Amino acid sequence: MTRNLITRLAAIASLAVAPLSAAQANNFENAFDSAFGTEIREPREFNPDYADPLARQIAQLADGSEGRIGVAALDLSTGREISILGDQRFPMASTSKIAIAATYMEGVEQGKWSLTSEFPLLWSVRSTPFSTATAPVRKGEYMSALQLIDLMLTRSSNPATDALLAAVGGPDAVNDWVHRAGLEDFELTRDIATLVRDDGEFDPAQHIDMRDSATPETMVELLTGLYQGRWLSAESREVILDAMARCRTGVRRIRGQMPDDVSVAHKTGSLNNTSSDIGIITAPDGRSYVVAIYVTGQGSRGNREQRIASIARAIYDGYSSTGPQFANASYGSAANAN
């Protein structure tokens, strides 16, 4: 896929050698978008025409002049959605670990393994980037699956993640679960050891690498489905959501600017020139908001984290400023009789 993309882009680039007319320039841009499989929709000016004032505010905060920023959010009580480049692919980094946990928990429910099943930590072994299709690893201490899930989601442990990924059958098994769940625009390609070893091949602020990527909208749908119980039992969901609530990474991201009485269950991600955080924000009144924020560029990790924190707080304030709304329901004859 990558080679085909490069070939197509090289052909497109050859069109730019001579000066282009306005019509040719438009065709060039369309061809570029087609080659990527998704449009680059950074606003040409940062006063986008959004009907929703909150979406307009988030678009301003997600100014893409220093690197792509993707945001998706959903108020679970009202259904109010926000999407700024929400259908564009971004590197998942460690936010993919939620899908790995869900895949393992489905196997528990099916009796393939249990939370007490033990697997070895898989530690990466030093190797030259891109020297092998899969980075070498060595087995470490055996731990229960419950311990591995806890380490993977609370501390973002890569050896624990690769242990669970190997246990479920690798990236293809995770993709199978995700796609059976009805989620699109998600692709896990490599184990974490390989992903980290080969990190830096492309700059995500300027380049969309379809490998190990997802859209913010898909990640919001993933968290929403887990929260609402679409795919897993209450016990399985509790394992994942409890660990996310105890996440110890990314304290300056979604959590960074939240009021003290707000709870956040989340999972962070970090790779070359990209920082992300996805999670469920629960207000004191019990209303919950699902958010996925992917930030590239911005000059430093600290700046990216500041963007995440400010966007998350704006979403929280915007959603919380409106009272809860409830959908109308029709009752059956027995209910009407009462």
314 belongs to a structural domain: yes
Give me the domain span that covers residue 13: 2-36
210 belongs to a structural domain: yes
> pLDDT at position 292, please?
98
304 and 213 fall within a common domain:
yes
What secondary structure does DSSP assign to 242-278, as a single string?
Answer: HHHHT--S-TTTGGGG--TT-EEEEEEEEETTEEEEE
Is the separation of the CB atoms in 113 and 317 below 8 Å?
Answer: no
Q: How confident is the model at residue 224 (pLDDT cuts 50, 70, 90)?
A: very high
44 belongs to a structural domain: no
**44's tokens:** 């040409």
CA nearest to 251, candidates 191, 311, 309, 327: 309
pLDDT at 286 over 60: yes
> pLDDT at position 49, please?
56
Q: Is the pTM of this model over 0.95?
A: no
Element (H, E) at 91: strand 90-91
* Cα–Cα distance measured from residue 210 to residue 218, given in angstroms and rounded to the nearest whole number: 14
Give the CA distances from residue 154 to residues 97, 219, 243, 296, 323, in Å, rounded to whole numbers and listed in that order. 11, 18, 6, 23, 32
> pLDDT at position 18, please?
45
Please report, rounded to a whole number, the percentage of residues in the chain having pLDDT higher than 70: 80
Range 50-70 average pLDDT: 90
* Cα–Cα distance measured from residue 295 to residue 291, given in angstroms and rounded to the nearest whole number: 13
32 and 90 fall within a common domain:
no
Q: How confident is the model at residue 295 (pLDDT cuts 50, 70, 90)?
A: very high
67 belongs to a structural domain: yes
pLDDT at 253 over 90: yes
Q: What's 124's domain CATH number?
A: 3.40.710.10
pLDDT at 113 over 90: yes
8 and 109 fall within a common domain:
no
Range 258-263 average pLDDT: 96
> pLDDT at position 13, please?
47
Half-sphere exposure of 60 (CA within 13 A, CB side): 11
Average pLDDT of the chain, as a whole number: 86
